[in-house]
């Protein structure tokens, strides 16, 4: 039987795990410094919790779990009237936001609000696999729920900046506000088409103004409205210039003006923090796909001369009523989600992992195995090294020296310890530096000090 | 819609996560000190990799994933001849051992053997949920593959002892060897019934000798053989007494004698390491359910006056040909698997978490929010604290003082920082110790030193 794994899924080797853990740990450290607390939810959710939350397209991409027991009986009974829902009650989570909303409602009596939670777990989507898009991938989310203060948005922007700075990746943090988009739709007399407009505008970066206009018209947006929108696609300049443009454009829209005010408040907070505004980009065509956003929206793109990546590495925003679908209305939340698989690819392209000292988790010294007698002596040395928290291994068989050295090389173990007859008699053990090839003799106590990190 | 989660699954709150992470991190530290390297495999495996690996019973407990697209067409076409395999090609992993074997075979050209890997991920089983048994739970495995040296067994026993010592749980490490069990079957003239005998003997602890004998007879083991086995069920005394008994009992079985020799070699290694033999229990009725074991077998039970738990918290053993099913024969491996959900329950019962300082990940100081003007001043203080790696939060709204204090209490935040008009003018901020209620005034620099861990 030829072993295989499902398409769109991956194994992670020890080297990959060390790098992935570095990214996860970096994000975790920042989240905790900002007072976020970790939760975990099950991989499986009841389908009634998931269906209808991600649009029609999302429903199709849910991985459904076959009910236990013999489903063929069910099939024979129902025959042509059988539906997928007769075969499956559970599905794998599609993101971490909907399970979080479900969690908040189920545990609302134990939670003190505002609740700052973070969550780092895999999600599953039956997407067509392609380069950089997987069917199983990790999300790393932070959300504040139960507070509508824009201070939360400011803190999330700081978190984003802190994480990418710790990872040494240059980025551009794009922000916008859904109320501005709603205001635009209103001003154009197309308030009922806000979703179509949002979806179309969201593609501006990818397909250009020409194609966006086509899509708008095909969705029934009037020629007049499309015409009026064009200045929006070409607003240039700094943030205050863009805001001044919007002040005029949205003068007659209350919701639009509210959106502008929210952006100004957020920028004001960041100003107080002497936030590096070069990172920030008010992008009034940024829309984000998911329709539950109601206020601020965020997206991060890599903006670094060392990288060719242009895809988004983070998304997020404010949702005013996510828990409403589960029976708890009027709880506002705002959150972000790091895409660590893409961040990994970016760091790999930029050679960032090589510059980090990520070898720590692996073994510091390998004890060569010379056979039964020496082995027992070596074991007592090994025990002392480990008791001093030095990561150490003994080769488990008395294999040929060449093989044991090749093992040390393969695992990039920096030192090898040789304990033969002479060493056992003198108590002075031979340490070989695998990089320089140098050998030196030391007593155990001395080794413990030398090899300690 | 009333929110719910699938039966047998759980949400983990921030408090639970801190404790679970402590257990995982403790095991991870020991694994890495012994030179084990982490891998991860996908939650979903192709069903052809999983089916037939866990016996008939195991196949029934696999969670199967419905194929994407419209399965109702498939159903209409195949009608009565439809099989589960027409609807599902993928399943959730049932343990970490079979995916690891699959990993080793798929990546054999990248791996340097012996390969010491560890893996900590959830597994899923469609078991009937009951107290302490879940449908989604974590396994924490370490295996050495590609070496048949018994030194590996000795190291795994040390790892077990190190982990439970670090967790402060008293345990009994039961060991046995499948070759001893095979020898017993041989001596009884029932070599063909080795699996039935193993399965029956495994229940001795739970159901007693009487019921085991009944089961043996019902499986066709002769009265004579059952009679001959009885001394095995009542062997008492220390390890060398038990081994002497086996020397006689298995005198005429080569495989049995090989098993005894392996146990003696393992004990000899542990002796060299001055291993606390009180922890070890050679239990010649220990069988372990899974049939792929061929040599040493391990099981750990809690043995601590502070705990009422009797269930197993770790299992493991030597398997000589696990990768053979995937086309790579003659690769020997040995491994262990910690059951962290049960360890969690044991530690909770023993109040062990309370004695640990597990509060570190949560916030050290909460900045009270007095409103817009004070907020901006507070933000600059907050920024300085965080830059000094002090976990700090600001309450996001200018809520009533009582509410903000209740928030600090609920999250066990030890300090609260008050910055009002007076504090802003003097630069001396009011720090309140939430435990003692004491208040004191400090400049920011001073606070940074005080609150640093």
Nearest CA in chain B to A77: B80
Closest CA to B371 of B345, B353, B394, B388: B394
pLDDT the model gives residue A147? 95
Closest CA to A115 of A158, A139, A147, A140: A147
B88 contacts A72? CB cut-off 8 A: no
**Residue bearing tokens 């009937």:** B128
Which positions in chain B touch A45 (Cβ < 8 Å)?
A: 5-6
pLDDT the model gives residue B186? 94
Radius of gyration of chain A (CA): 28
Note the Cα B205 to chain centre separation in Å.
Answer: 22
Dihedrals phi, psi of A343, to nearest 5 degrees: -60, -40
Q: Which residue has the higher pLDDT, B350 or A132?
A: B350
B1-43+93-170+308-361, superfamily in CATH?
Answer: Bira Bifunctional Protein; Domain 2 (3.30.930.10)
Q: What is the DSSP letter of A189?
A: T
Nearest CA in chain A to B113: A407
pLDDT the model gives residue A213? 93
A410 contacts B112? CB cut-off 8 A: yes
Work out the number of other CB atoms within 10 angstroms of the CB of residue B55: 14
- Residue A45, classified by CB atoms within 10 Å of its CB into exposed (0-12), middle (13-18) or buried (19+), is buried
C-alpha distances out from residue A134 to A216, B71, B186, B280, B385, Å: 30, 23, 52, 46, 39
Q: What is the mean pLDDT of residues A288-307?
A: 88
pLDDT the model gives residue A204? 86
Report d(CA A54, CA A237) in Å as an integer.
35
pLDDT band (50, 70, 90) for residue A244: very high
Note the Cα A31 to chain centre separation in Å.
Answer: 12
ipTM of the complex: 0.92
- The C-alpha of A211 sits at a distance from chain B's nearest C-alpha, in angstroms, of 30
pLDDT band (50, 70, 90) for residue A314: very high
Q: What is the mean pLDDT of residues A372-393?
A: 92
pLDDT the model gives residue B196? 86
Closest CA to A451 of A382, A398, A369: A382
pLDDT the model gives residue A131? 81
Note the Cα A209 to chain centre separation in Å.
Answer: 30
Q: Which residue has the higher pLDDT, B335 or A193?
A: B335
Nearest CA in chain A to B398: A149
B411 contacts A149? CB cut-off 8 A: no
Report d(CA B384, CA A52) in Å as an integer.
44
pLDDT the model gives residue B197? 87
Whether A361 has a pLDDT exceeding 70, the answer reads: no
Whether A72 has a pLDDT exceeding 80, the answer reads: no
In contact, B104 and B145? CB cutoff 8 Å: yes
- The C-alpha of B41 sits at a distance from chain A's nearest C-alpha, in angstroms, of 5
Q: What is the mean pLDDT of residues A232-259?
A: 92
A37 contacts B17? CB cut-off 8 A: yes
In contact, B292 and B186? CB cutoff 8 Å: no
Would B1-43+93-170+308-361 and B172-303 be classified into the same CATH topology? yes
Side-chain-side CA neighbours of B325 within 13 Å: the count stands at: 19
- The C-alpha of A45 sits at a distance from chain B's nearest C-alpha, in angstroms, of 6
pLDDT the model gives residue A290? 64
pLDDT band (50, 70, 90) for residue A318: very high
In contact, B255 and B183? CB cutoff 8 Å: yes
Which positions in chain A touch B105 (Cβ < 8 Å)?
A: 3
For the stretch B409-415, contacts whose Cβ atoms lie closer than 8 Å and that sit 24 or more positions apart, written own/partner, are B409/B434, B410/A112, B411/A37, B411/A112, B411/B362, B411/B363, B411/B366, B412/B359, B412/B362, B413/B362, B413/B363, B413/B364, B413/B365, B413/B366, B414/B359, B414/B364, B414/B365, B415/B364, B415/B365, B415/B366, B415/B451
Q: H/E element holding A119?
A: strand A115-124
Closest CA to A60 of B44, B43, B68, B72: B68
A39 contacts B5? CB cut-off 8 A: no
Report d(CA B371, CA B405) in Å as an integer.
15
In contact, B121 and B164? CB cutoff 8 Å: no
Report d(CA A390, CA A446) in Å as an integer.
13
pLDDT the model gives residue B311? 81
Whether A436 has a pLDDT exceeding 80, the answer reads: yes
pLDDT the model gives residue B12? 97
In contact, B341 and B12? CB cutoff 8 Å: no
Q: What is the DSSP letter of B63?
A: P
Which of A209-223, A393-407, B76-90, B274-288 has the lowest average pLDDT?
B76-90
C-alpha distances out from residue A239 to A208, A214, A232, A277, A280, Å: 22, 28, 14, 9, 9
Class of domain B365-452: alpha beta
pLDDT the model gives residue A258? 98
> Nearest CB to A66: which of B88, B325, B386?
B88
Whether A359 has a pLDDT exceeding 70, the answer reads: no
Supply angle C-alpha A216, A220, A222, rounded to 5.
80
Q: Where are the domains of chain B?
A: 1-43+93-170+308-361, 172-303, 365-452
Q: What is the mean pLDDT of residues A424-446?
A: 95
pLDDT the model gives residue B361? 52
A66 contacts B63? CB cut-off 8 A: yes
pLDDT band (50, 70, 90) for residue A195: confident
What's the fold here for domain A172-303? Answer: BirA Bifunctional Protein; domain 2 (3.30.930)
Which positions in chain A touch B89 (Cβ < 8 Å)?
A: 6
Pairing, β A115-124 against β A37-38: parallel
pLDDT digits (tens), chain B, 453 positions: 789 999 999 999 999 999 999 999 999 999 999 999 999 999 999 999 999 888 888 899 999 999 987 777 777 777 677 777 788 999 999 999 999 999 999 999 999 999 999 999 999 999 988 887 899 999 999 999 999 999 999 999 999 999 999 999 999 999 999 999 999 999 999 888 888 888 888 888 888 889 999 999 999 999 999 999 898 888 888 888 999 999 999 999 999 999 999 999 999 999 988 887 778 999 998 987 666 789 999 999 999 999 998 889 999 999 988 898 898 998 999 999 999 999 999 999 999 998 887 755 578 999 999 999 999 999 999 999 999 989 999 999 999 999 999 999 999 899 999 999 999 999 999 999 999 999 999 999 999 999 986
- The C-alpha of A36 sits at a distance from chain B's nearest C-alpha, in angstroms, of 8
In contact, B60 and B77? CB cutoff 8 Å: no
Supply angle C-alpha B29, B34, B39, rounded to 5.
70
B12 contacts A40? CB cut-off 8 A: yes
């Amino acid at each position: 039987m030829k072993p295989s794994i499902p398409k769109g899924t991956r194994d992670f080797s020890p080297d990959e795990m060390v790098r992935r853990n570095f990214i996860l740990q970096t994000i975790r450290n920042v989240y905790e410094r900002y007072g976020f607390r970790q939760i975990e939810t099950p991989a499986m959710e009841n389908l009634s919790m998931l269906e209808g939350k991600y649009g029609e397209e999302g429903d199709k991409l849910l991985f459904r779990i076959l009910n236990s027991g013999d489903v063929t009986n069910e099939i024979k009974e129902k025959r042509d009237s059988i539906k997928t829902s007769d075969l499956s009650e559970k599905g794998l989570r599609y993101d971490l936001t909907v399970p979080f909303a479900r969690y908040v409602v189920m545990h609302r009596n134990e939670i003190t609000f505002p609740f700052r939670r973070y969550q780092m777990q895999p999600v599953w989507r039956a997407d067509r696999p392609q380069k950089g898009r997987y069917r199983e991938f990790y999300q790393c989310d932070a959300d504040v729920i139960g507070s509508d203060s824009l201070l939360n948005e400011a803190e999330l922007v700081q978190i984003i900046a802190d994480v990418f700075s710790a990872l040494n990746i240059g980025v551009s943090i794009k922000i916008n506000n859904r109320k501005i988009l709603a205001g635009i739709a209103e001003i154009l007399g197309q308030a009922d088409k806000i979703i179509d407009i949002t979806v179309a505008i969201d593609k501006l970066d990818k397909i250009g103004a020409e194609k966006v206009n086509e899509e708008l018209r095909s969705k029934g947006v009037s020629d007049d409205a499309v015409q009026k929108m064009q200045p929006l696609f070409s607003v240039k300049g700094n943030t205050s210039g863009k805001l001044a443009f919007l002040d005029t454009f949205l003068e007659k829209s209350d919701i639009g003006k509210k959106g502008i005010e929210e952006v100004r408040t957020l920028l004001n907070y960041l100003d107080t923090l002497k936030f590096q505004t070069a990172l920030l980009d008010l992008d009034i065509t940024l829309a984000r796909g998911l329709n539950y956003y109601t206020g601020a929206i965020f997206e991060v793109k890599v903006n670094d001369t060392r990288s060719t990546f242009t895809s988004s590495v983070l998304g997020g925003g404010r949702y005013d009523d996510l828990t409403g679908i589960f029976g708890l209305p009027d709880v506002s939340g705002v959150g972000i989600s790091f895409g660590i698989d893409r961040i990994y690819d970016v760091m790999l392209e930029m050679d960032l992992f090589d510059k980090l000292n990520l070898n720590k988790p692996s073994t510091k010294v390998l004890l060569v195995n010379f056979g039964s007698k020496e082995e027992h002596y070596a074991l007592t040395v090994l025990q002392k090294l480990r008791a001093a928290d030095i990561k150490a291994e003994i080769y488990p068989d008395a294999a040929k020296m060449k093989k044991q050295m090749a093992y040390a090389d393969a695992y990039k173990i920096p030192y090898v310890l040789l304990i033969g007859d002479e060493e056992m008699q003198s108590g002075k053990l031979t340490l070989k530096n695998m990089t320089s090839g140098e050998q030196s003799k030391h007593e155990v106590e001395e080794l413990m000090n030398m090899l300690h990190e």
